[in-house]
Chain A
Amino acid sequence: AQSVTQLDSQVPVFEEAPVELRCNYSSSVSVYLFWYVQYPNQGLQLLLKYLSGSTLVKGINGFEAEFNKSQTSFHLRKPSVHISDTAEYFCAVKGQTGANNLFFGTGTRLTVIP
């Protein structure tokens, strides 16, 4: 099985500053990786995904993430955040083989301060 660790439960950042949300995973097989965003009392929206190929993945709303296999990480970055980016962000992992359920981290609450 796989697991995901999001070490930062809360990240406050000033508007227009850069941000990095950290995600580390554990798996005995190759993986697919995802970042989802959740606004209050809403479902999850897919931000970006890594399936194969380039390790730098670009998503919606100006976010990007880099897959680092040696460090088993998939950190999410944005060079300049907006107030509207305030939300909960979830990293998720799925094994490419075996019982490939989707496993979620516990989430990081990003708060953008005006």
Chain B
Amino acid sequence: DGGITQSPKYLFRKEGQNVTLSCEQNLNHDAMYWYRQDPGQGLRLIYYSQIVNDFQKGDIAEGYSVSREKKESFPLTVTSAQKNPTAFYLCASSIGFDREQFFGPGTRLTVL
């Protein structure tokens, strides 16, 4: 089955540690995205990538980093510079940047 996988589903980290969230898709989509979801705030765009080896900052990129070395993969690193990293993180992909987005199941990150 084609789809988007995110791992792990739940992640706990100590304050000050970097952590990497995985996102993989087998839909052959060119564009991939990372969103952060907080209660009552909807989804906010962290980073997006339209093609391999290229990515752009979204609205709340500070404290995050990404890479896009393969079409299928778009990992997100939450660095120690992110002041409030506890949130639900959603990865999405689309055929092209102007097409509808399909979402993975999400990773809930809790920083202790």
Contacts and interface: CB of A to CB of B under 8 A. Distances in A.
Interface in B1-31: 4, 6, 9
Contacts of B105: 42-43
B58 A44 contact: no
Interface stretch (A11-19, A65-73, A79-87, A103-111): A103-111
A104 B42 contact: yes
B100 A101 contact: no
Interface string B98-109: 101111111010
Contacts of A49: 100
A74 interface: no
Contacts of A105: 42
Contacts of B106: 41-43
Contacts of A7: none
Nearest to B48: A101
B103 A106 contact: no
Given A41-B106, A43-B90, A43-B104, A100 B97 contact: yes
Interface residues of B, number: 25
A42 B104 CA distance: 8
Contacts of B4: 43
22 contacts: A9-B40, A32-B98, A34-B100, A41-B88, A41-B108, A42-B105, A42-B106, A43-B4, A43-B90, A43-B103, A43-B106, A44-B92, A46-B101, A90-B43, A94-B98, A102-B33, A102-B101, A104-B42, A104-B43, A105-B42, A106-B42, A107-B42
Interface of B: 4, 6, 9, 33, 40-45, 48, 58, 88, 90, 92, 97-98, 100-106, 108
Interface of A: 9, 32, 34, 36, 41-46, 49, 90, 94, 96, 100-102, 104-107
Given A104-B42, A104-B43, A106-B42, 17 more contacts: A9-B40, A32-B98, A43-B103, A43-B104, A44-B43, A44-B90, A45-B103, A90-B42, A90-B43, A100-B97, A100-B98, A101-B45, A101-B48, A101-B58, A102-B45, A102-B101, A107-B42
